[in-house]
Amino acid sequence: MGSRRTDAVAGRVSTEEAELLRQAADEKDVLIADLVQRAVELYIERNPDEIPAFYPEDSFAAFIESL
């Protein structure tokens, strides 16, 4: 598998959400950081808030946004 360049980012979640992340990480035997990374990737891919910066420049969605 090829290596990917990454950058560290930080954020805060509620105590309850942090506990859910810990439980999920334990259940799946993965790091919390891996779950958070996957969640961010999925959020960007699905872009539920239709944030223009998350659309690829040549995407149809970007074209619609520009109208």
Flag the least confident range among 2-11, 22-31, 52-61: 52-61
Share of the chain above pLDDT 70, in %: 82
36: Cβ–Cβ under 8 A, 6 or more apart, which residues? Answer: 21
Question: For the chain, what is the mean pLDDT?
Answer: 87
Q: Which residues have C-beta within 8 Å of that of residue 31, sequence separation ≥ 6?
A: 25
pTM over 0.85: no
What pLDDT shows up at residue 22? 97
Helices (H), the chain: 15-28, 32-46, 60-66
